[in-house]
Amino acid sequence: MSGERIAVTIIGGYLGAGKTTLLNHLLATTDERVAILVNDFGELNIDVSLIDAAEGNTVSLPNGCICCSLVDGLGAALSDIDQLEPRPQRLAIEASGVADPAGIAAFAHRRGYRLDLVVVMVDGFQFAANVADDYVGETVRGQVAAADLIVINKTDLMDEAATLRLDALLDQLAPDAPTVRAVNAVIDPAVLLDLTPRLKAPAMDRLHDHAIPFETWSYEGAEIDLGTVRAMAEALPAAVVRAKGIIATPDGFRVFQRVGPRWTLTEHNTLEPVPKVSSLVAIGLPGAISERWLEDHLENGH
């Protein structure tokens, strides 16, 4: 097994929210080598234009991606994927419409894997009715409570009153989870995937998904002490949906990751000598921060 752990993205949400559409969009736009786990291929309905070949419980997809059925259970599927050569860079798990994403996320902490993101899809048009339903309301409420990121889908079907009701519900049920709005489950893949710190990135890169804009901001600098990084993490506004960086500190390199209010700093071990360079990239709503903001907080501590 390689020392590089497979990043896990879990996609949950109630029936009809758009999970399958989002997965097809992900497969069509990613450059990563991705493995997809679903309960049933028929349920996934993979876009035929994406399928290279099918054999047994596995469908081969572009970019070295694969899609596997969970016929033998999640644990067995994770063991099989971990042995693949070449190993996937990412595993995306589509939870069933009535599953608890938090329960699936627990599996992402096993050896060889790391949990990156729990995404919960919401049908913006039906969500309020689902929450109020005596039979499914508890399930739907539990799903959004487990989310690191909520994708509000089908926003083209919502009027202003419905939008206000939905926002109020999500503020009540998942007050700390950032939200992204979508039509036909189309959002920028950088929101879902592991952001890659890139040196000498353009000052600003505006991304458009059905008139939903995002901006990315980058930082490159020298060593930063851990206290300064922690202070920056706490100061990042909620409109910054995701951020990731490799930070050079006096005590070695650290990987910084942030999704909504959740952020981590973990050791980054490298066997090769590399320059003491820190790099970070963030994505969020326009104007949430700026590259000057990153410089001020990482170099000047404010």
Q: Using the 8-state DSSP alphabet, how is residue 89 labeled? A: S
Instruction: Compute the average pLDDT of residues 21-41.
Output: 74
Model confidence band, residue 31 (pLDDT cutoffs 50, 70, 90): confident
Is residue 66 predicted with pLDDT exceeding 60?
no
Contact by Cβ (8 Å): 131, 48: no
Stronger pLDDT, 209 or 299, i.e. the higher one: 299
For residues 280, 283, 285, 286, the Cα torsion angle rounded to the nearest 10 degrees is 60
Nearest to 38 by CA among 64, 52, 59: 59
CA 97 to each of CA 135, 173, 270: distance values in angstroms, whole numbers, following the listed order = 14, 18, 40
Of 232, 215, 216, give the one whose Cα is nearest residue 224: 232
Give me the chain's average pLDDT, please: 77
| pLDDT at site 242 | 78
Q: Does the pLDDT at position 186 exceed 70? A: yes
CA distance 188 to 98: 26
Of 79 and 141, the structure prediction assigns the larger pLDDT to 141
Residue 54: the pLDDT is: 45
Strand pairing class (149-153; 179-181): parallel
Using pLDDT thresholds of 50, 70 and 90, give the confidence band for residue 91.
Answer: confident
Q: How much is the average pLDDT of 255-263? A: 77
28 has pLDDT over 70: yes
Instruction: Write phi, then psi, for 137 (nearest 5 degrees).
Output: -55, -45
Within 10 Å of residue 265's Cβ, how many Cβ atoms?
Answer: 17
Q: Over 80: is that where the pLDDT of 69 sits?
A: no
Task: Compute φ and ψ for 209, nearest 5 degrees.
Answer: -135, 100
Residue 199, pLDDT above cutoff 60: no
- Global confidence as pTM: 0.68
Q: What does the pLDDT read at residue 136?
A: 85
pLDDT band of residue 175 (cuts 50, 70, 90) is: confident
pLDDT at 104: 82
